[in-house]
């Protein structure tokens, strides 16, 4: 009975204000080639930020960024190996990015011996004398799970993780991996990734790592290391600072007391920019990832403008998510409203594809669930209308994608704020140039928008705010 009384104390959500045609129009504009893939730290990200700020204003949001604007700027850092870095194996001088790849930016100067271990697995390395030497080993996919999207692209990272700690513990000064069939296929993709370097923000990879260098050679050149040659390696890393930006708007609540509290609705505006061609296209427009949530947020804002809630709504279009959740990490630690006034975070990422009747609510189940009340509101909203069947396995800590940890709700959950993540999950065009507006399932996008909106409406109008589960901790 208490729930019934509470439910009658505020108006029903104005779902009729959400229009599929608005979602489609905004999608085709936001994920258009003219923004060149919206890569963080580029002029293209700043251009699309201007577009979003204008659309936020049109949708009825008041500016909630810095100094009365829609913009919250932050610095992102890029660390990159410079072309003057050198490698010599025996008498063979190698050319960076042509003859060998460097897995991550480090500064390293090594003069010494290479130990070629052939097909050794990590457990075999203890038989070798690696102290002060560079390990060379054939890449092996043994004990590496292949059940994930973009496996070929991600494979070199899994090979590194498989051997790295053991090699370091045995005193190795570096690792050279020789490609196998899978990493041969990945070369062109990881080439673009590795030449870009790594990114970070305040307190996150701001400094170059002290890791030992990890190099890759093609197996056709395995003879360069087979005879345990001397190695002379000089890696030089430079760091650069770029501006990135969160776009932030708000719609003020109507309750004299509750309007000082905020329901934060979030997505990310950036994607992968220009990269290697796939099917003759090089622009990674990220329609589903994550223009889908951005246009949903604009649609929700129009509904809130037409019918405001008791609490205020804070819309945050995060920048630089693809570079490591940099925008959400920044705003979670530098919020534009007092942190204690943020009652919940409803984040969306990739909400426009796959089966019309299936979706995932990450943070909906233990051990990722951090608020019973918030999850119940989302479940009630789904039961009232959209009636999605939950893809619960995606919220499992044992799921191969670890998807819960890969979007913008995470920094807020780590700050102790109730947070959930709405998604229609991955698909085979994820992070390819084929993630285009024409491939969006707009009926699915509408349903996901409605679900997020109905959930936010409950959070924004119920008398009591969601609470965080006592002693909640996140472990990956």
- Are residue 200 and residue 249 in the same domain, yes or no? no
Whether the pLDDT of residue 4 is over 70: the answer is: no
Q: Last residue of some domain: 183, 202, 235? A: 235
pLDDT at 210: 82
- Are residue 225 and residue 316 in the same domain, yes or no? no
Whether the pLDDT of residue 3 is over 50: the answer is: no
Q: What is the pLDDT of residues 407-457, one digit of tens each?
A: 999 999 999 999 999 999 999 999 999 999 999 999 999 999 999 999 999
Q: What is the pLDDT of residues 45-92, one digit of tens each?
A: 999 999 999 999 999 999 999 999 999 999 999 999 999 999 999 999
Q: How far is Cα 202 from Cα 76, in angstroms, rounded to an integer?
A: 8
Q: How far is Cα 187 from Cα 81, in angstroms, rounded to an integer?
A: 17
Q: Is residue 215 part of a domain?
A: yes
Q: What is the pLDDT of residues 319-377, one digit of tens each?
A: 999 999 999 999 999 999 999 999 999 999 999 999 999 999 999 999 999 999 999 99
Q: Is residue 208 part of a domain?
A: yes
- Are residue 115 and residue 171 in the same domain, yes or no? yes
Q: Last residue of some domain: 183, 212, 235? A: 235
**Cα torsion at 441, 445, 451, 453 (round to 10°)?**
-170
The arithmetic mean of pLDDT across residues 378-384, rounded, is 98
* Chain mean pLDDT for the chain: 95
Q: Residue 24 maps to which CATH number?
A: 3.40.630.10
Whether the pLDDT of residue 305 is over 70: the answer is: yes
pLDDT at 475: 78
The arithmetic mean of pLDDT across residues 121-142, rounded, is 98
- Are residue 281 and residue 405 in the same domain, yes or no? yes
Q: Residue 153 maps to which CATH number?
A: 3.50.30.30
pLDDT at 203: 64
Q: Last residue of some domain: 235, 262, 282? A: 235
The arithmetic mean of pLDDT across residues 168-186, rounded, is 97
Q: What is the pLDDT of residues 208-260, one digit of tens each?
A: 778 999 999 999 999 999 999 999 999 999 999 999 999 999 999 999 999 99
The total of structural domains in the chain comes to 2
Q: Is residue 113 part of a domain?
A: yes
- Are residue 249 and residue 221 in the same domain, yes or no? no
Q: Is residue 347 part of a domain?
A: yes
pLDDT at 265: 99
Task: For residue 361, give its domain range.
Answer: 2-78+241-461
- Are residue 24 and residue 123 in the same domain, yes or no? no
- Are residue 424 and residue 322 in the same domain, yes or no? yes
- Are residue 104 and residue 198 in the same domain, yes or no? yes
Split at pLDDT 50, 70, 90, the class of 6 is very low
- Are residue 245 and residue 314 in the same domain, yes or no? yes
pLDDT at 1: 35
The arithmetic mean of pLDDT across residues 287-304, rounded, is 98
The arithmetic mean of pLDDT across residues 166-170, rounded, is 98
- Are residue 299 and residue 366 in the same domain, yes or no? yes
- Are residue 290 and residue 367 in the same domain, yes or no? yes
Q: Is residue 466 part of a domain?
A: no
The fraction of the chain above a pLDDT of 90, given in percent, is 94
Q: Is residue 468 part of a domain?
A: no
Whether the pLDDT of residue 101 is over 60: the answer is: yes
CB of 271 within 8 A of CB of 39?
A: yes
- Are residue 211 and residue 133 in the same domain, yes or no? yes
CB of 104 within 8 A of CB of 214?
A: yes
CB of 226 within 8 A of CB of 423?
A: no
Q: Is residue 476 part of a domain?
A: no
Angle formed by the axes of helices 181-196 and 151-169, nearest 10°: 90
Q: Which residue has the higher pLDDT, 205 or 351?
A: 351
Q: Is residue 258 part of a domain?
A: yes
């Amino acid at each position: 009975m208490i729930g019934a009384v509470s439910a009658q104390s505020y108006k029903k959500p104005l779902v009729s204000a959400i229009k599929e045609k608005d979602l489609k129009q905004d999608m085709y504009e936001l994920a258009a080639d003219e923004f060149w893939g919206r890569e963080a730290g580029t002029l293209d990200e700043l251009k699309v930020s201007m577009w979003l700020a204008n659309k936020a204003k049109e949708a009825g949001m008041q500016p909630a960024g810095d100094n009365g604007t829609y913009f919250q700027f932050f610095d992102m850092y890029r660390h990159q190996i410079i072309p003057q870095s050198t490698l010599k194996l025996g008498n063979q001088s190698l050319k960076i990015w042509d003859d060998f790849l460097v897995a991550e930016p480090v500064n390293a100067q090594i003069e010494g011996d290479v130990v070629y271990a052939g097909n050794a697995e990590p457990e075999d390395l203890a038989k070798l004398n690696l102290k002060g030497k560079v390990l060379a080993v054939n890449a092996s996919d043994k004990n590496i799970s292949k059940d994930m999207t973009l496996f070929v692209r991600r494979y070199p990272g899994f090979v590194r993780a498989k051997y790295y700690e053991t090699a370091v513990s045995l005193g190795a000064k570096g690792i050279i991996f020789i490609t196998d069939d899978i990493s041969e296929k990945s070369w062109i993709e990881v080439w673009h990734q590795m030449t870009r370097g790594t990114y970070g923000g305040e307190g996150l990879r701001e400094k170059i790592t002290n890791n030992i260098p990890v190099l890759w050679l093609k197996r056709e050149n395995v003879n360069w290391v087979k005879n345990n040659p001397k190695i002379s390696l000089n890696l030089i890393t430079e760091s650069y600072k770029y501006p990135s930006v969160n776009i932030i708007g708000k719609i003020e609540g109507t309750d004299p007391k509750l309007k000082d509290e905020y329901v934060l609705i979030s997505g990310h505006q950036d994607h992968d920019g220009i990269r290697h061609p796939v099917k003759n296209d090089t622009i990674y427009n990220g329609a589903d990832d994550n223009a889908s949530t951005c246009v949903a947020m604009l649609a929700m804002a129009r509904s809130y403008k037409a019918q405001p809630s008791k609490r205020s709504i804070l819309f945050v279009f995060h920048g630089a998510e693809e570079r490591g959740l940099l925008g959400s990490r920044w705003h979670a630690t530098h919020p534009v409203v007092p942190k204690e006034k943020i009652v919940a975070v409803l984040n969306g990422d990739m909400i426009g594809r796959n089966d019309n009747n299936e979706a995932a609510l990450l943070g909906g189940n233990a051990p990722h669930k951090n608020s019973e009340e918030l999850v119940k509101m989302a479940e009630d909203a789904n039961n009232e209308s959209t009636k999605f069947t939950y893809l619960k396995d995606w919220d499992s800590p044992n799921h191969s994608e670890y998807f819960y940890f890969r979007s913008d709700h995470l920094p807020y959950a780590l700050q102790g704020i109730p947070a959930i993540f709405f998604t229609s999950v991955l698909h085979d065009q994820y992070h390819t140039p084929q993630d285009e507006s024409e491939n969006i399932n707009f009926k699915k996008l509408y349903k996901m928008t409605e679900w997020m909106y109905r959930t936010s409406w409950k959070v924004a109008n119920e008398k009591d705010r969601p609470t965080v589960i006592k002693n909640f901790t996140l472990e990956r």
